[in-house]
């Protein structure tokens, strides 16, 4: 077979693209270039060591799996980092997995046994006693799930379930929220905690969508009995996004049967759903009534303080120093959902690594306006002027007119700096809003505020206070 690196990489990308969100894909995969393929080793060029570490940390499993599928079990991935090293050297893949591609564990998992020989879609092939691939990810745990008013009940119920699966009052436990608020994370955390507390219990995490496709496969291959029978081995079944079952009456029938069998035997059921039960349509009444047996707890949008804690935790976990004002600004500006918040953080880290920029308010603002469509546009320069004037006990006109007393000049510079940071405006537009000053005056003002924040501790302290106040106002 004559294969070249470009073709293989294009196939890899096509699959990766289906599995990760578009923003991460753009950020981490578009800068990669395929270089060569020799035997089963594909060499790719990545921008720098940071990228290498990030990819190793986050995507190595996905890449391994895809390459095994495309090239076979001996597939290897090698990285080439061109610029940063004085003498470019290949880094052979796998800080975490030294013998990339030959791990026995992973061969069992993904490799050698042809798919059609796997009778049971969730069993790990080659293992005698039924041992179930839980489909859980280690990243999603209670430790990494920040607590706030927004999720207290659901989190506590999840913990209770993981301490006494099947025998707590919460069976089934259903977690409900809009998208991007942490349902999947919490449901996975419950599964991981059950596994940690009771290593011998069989736990399975699946999306309702995957359940439905596996069910259809079972019908096609005439193995519905095996499919249903498999679930009897479970001690806990976690089904993500049950709204997906809507309108699929055959799948619902089967699911109903599985639910009853597990529930009657004191096994734990956990579901997530992206809307309240009353808005779910095309789900059979008898199944709906089962869903309502246990507890349904919702996740709300985290407050700006909880969002800040989430930002800080994620940055700390990735070993990245983020200045407090930047973390605060991002957690304030991105108030749609947590997934979007993470998206902005990822771009921030990538942008600063790629273009050697420091992580500061300016960069954060740029990315927030690029990644989050509706943000901040409602903050008007007018609002900023009124706020700053009020804060310093001045009249808004003092900031606009020609007054030159030192305290007025400082307040005016701060107001311009905040307008630049918080409103979507160019230097000239800001100049016009401040009594027709020209753009270089505004630029100079912003620079002088920035310098003072960096160099003058006293100034920084009082600026932080003011910034916290305006942040508070904006989040309400």
Cβ-contact 442, 420 below 8 angstroms: yes
CA quadruple 194, 200, 206, 212: dihedral, nearest 10: -140
Residues 164-193 within binding reach of ligand ADP (CB under 6 A): 177, 179-185
In the shown chain, the binding pattern of residues 136 to 175 toward Mg ion, with x for contact by CB under 5 A and - for none, equals ----------------------------------------
Rule CB under 6 A: say whether 136 interacts with ligand ADP. no
Cβ-contact 241, 273 below 8 angstroms: yes
Using CA atoms, how far residue 389 sits from 272, 386, 408, 476, in Å, is 48, 5, 9, 20
Tokens found for residue 88: 């470019």
Query: Binds 181, which of Mg ion, ligand ADP, none (CB < 5 to 8 A, cut-off by type)?
Result: ligand ADP
239 vs 332, beta carbon nearer Mg ion:
239
59 vs 80, beta carbon nearer ligand ADP:
59
Q: Which stretch binds Mg ion (CB under 5 A): 15-23, 153-161, 178-186, 194-202?
A: 178-186
Cβ-contact 211, 251 below 8 angstroms: yes
209 vs 382, beta carbon nearer Mg ion:
209
Output Rg (C-alpha) for the chain, integer angstroms.
27
Rule CB under 5 A: say whether 134 interacts with Mg ion. no
In the shown chain, the binding pattern of residues 148 to 167 toward ligand ADP, with x for contact by CB under 6 A and - for none, equals ---x----------------
Which stretch of DSSP H or E encloses residue 469?
A: helix 457-475
Cβ-contact 161, 168 below 8 angstroms: yes
Rule CB under 6 A: say whether 343 interacts with ligand ADP. no
Cβ-proximal residues to 458 (8 Å cutoff; 6+ apart), any chain: none
Taking CB under 5 A as the criterion, the residue among 184, 207, 304, 306 binding Mg ion is: 184
Q: Which stretch binds ligand ADP (CB under 6 A): 35-43, 116-124, 139-147, 408-416?
A: 139-147
Calpha distance 419→433 (Å, rounded) = 10
Q: Are strands 76-80 and 33-38 parallel, antiparallel or unpaired?
A: unpaired
Query: Binds 243, which of ligand ADP, Mg ion, none (CB < 5 to 8 A, cut-off by type)?
Result: none
Residues 258-317 within binding reach of ligand ADP (CB under 6 A): 310
Strands (E), 39-80: 41-45, 76-80
Q: How many residues bind ligand ADP (CB under 6 A)?
A: 16
Rule CB under 6 A: say whether 338 interacts with ligand ADP. yes
**Closest separation in Å from C-beta 325 to ligand ADP:** 21
* Angle between helix 338-354 and helix 49-58 axes, rounded to 10 deg: 150
Residues that bind ligand ADP (CB under 6 A): 144-146, 151, 177, 179-185, 310, 338-339, 342
Residues near Mg ion (CB under 5 A) are: 183-184
């Amino acid at each position: 077979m004559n294969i070249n690196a470009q073709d293989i990489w294009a196939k890899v990308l096509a699959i990766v693209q289906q599995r990760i969100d578009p923003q991460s894909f753009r950020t981490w995969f578009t800068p990669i270039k395929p270089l060569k393929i020799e035997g089963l080793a594909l060499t790719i060029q990545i921008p720098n060591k940071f990228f290498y570490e990030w990819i190793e940390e986050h995507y190595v499993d996905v890449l391994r799996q895809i390459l095994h599928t495309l090239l076979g079990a001996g597939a290897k991935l090698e990285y080439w980092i061109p610029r940063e090293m004085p003498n470019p050297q290949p880094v052979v893949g796998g800080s975490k997995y030294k013998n990339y591609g030959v791990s026995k564990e992973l061969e069992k998992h993904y490799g050698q046994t042809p798919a059609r020989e796997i009778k049971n879609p969730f069993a790990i092939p080659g293992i005698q006693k039924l041992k179930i691939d839980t489909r859980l990810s280690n990243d999603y745990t209670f430790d990494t799930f920040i607590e706030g008013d927004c999720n207290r009940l659901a989190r506590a119920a999840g913990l209770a379930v993981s301490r006494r699966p099947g025998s707590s009052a919460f069976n089934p436990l259903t977690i409900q929220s809009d998208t991007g608020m942490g349902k999947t994370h919490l449901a996975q955390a419950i599964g991981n905690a059950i596994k940690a507390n009771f290593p011998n219990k069989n736990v399975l995490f699946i999306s309702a969508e995957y359940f439905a496709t596996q069910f259809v496969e079972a019908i096609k291959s005439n193995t519905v009995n095996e499919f249903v029978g498999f679930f009897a081995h479970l001690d806990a079944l976690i089904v993500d996004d049950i709204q997906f079952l809507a309108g699929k009456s055959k799948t619902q029938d089967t699911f109903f049967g599985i639910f009853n069998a597990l529930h009657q035997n004191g096994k734990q059921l956990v579901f997530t759903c992206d809307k309240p039960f009353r808005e779910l349509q095309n789900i059979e009444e008898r199944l709906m009534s089962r869903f309502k047996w246990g507890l349904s707890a919702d996740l709300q949008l985290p407050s700006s303080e909880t969002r800040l804690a989430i930002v800080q935790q994620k940055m700390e976990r990735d070993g990245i120093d983020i200045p407090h004002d930047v973390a605060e600004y991002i957690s304030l500006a991105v108030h749609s959902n947590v997934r979007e918040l993470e998206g902005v953080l990822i771009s921030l880290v990538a942008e600063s690594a790629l273009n050697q920029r420091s992580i500061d308010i300016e960069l954060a603002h740029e990315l927030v306006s690029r990644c989050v469509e509706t943000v901040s546009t409602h903050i008007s320069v007018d609002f900023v002027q009124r706020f700053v004037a009020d804060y310093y006990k001045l009249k808004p006109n003092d900031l606009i007119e020609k007054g030159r007393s030192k305290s007025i000049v400082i307040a005016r510079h701060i107001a311009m700096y905040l307008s630049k940071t918080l409103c979507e405006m160019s230097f000239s537009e800001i100049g016009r809003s401040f009594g027709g000053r020209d753009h270089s005056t505004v630029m100079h003002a912003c620079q002088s505020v920035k310098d003072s924040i960096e160099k003058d501790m006293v100034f920084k302290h009082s600026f932080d206070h003011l910034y916290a106040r305006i942040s508070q106002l904006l989040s309400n």
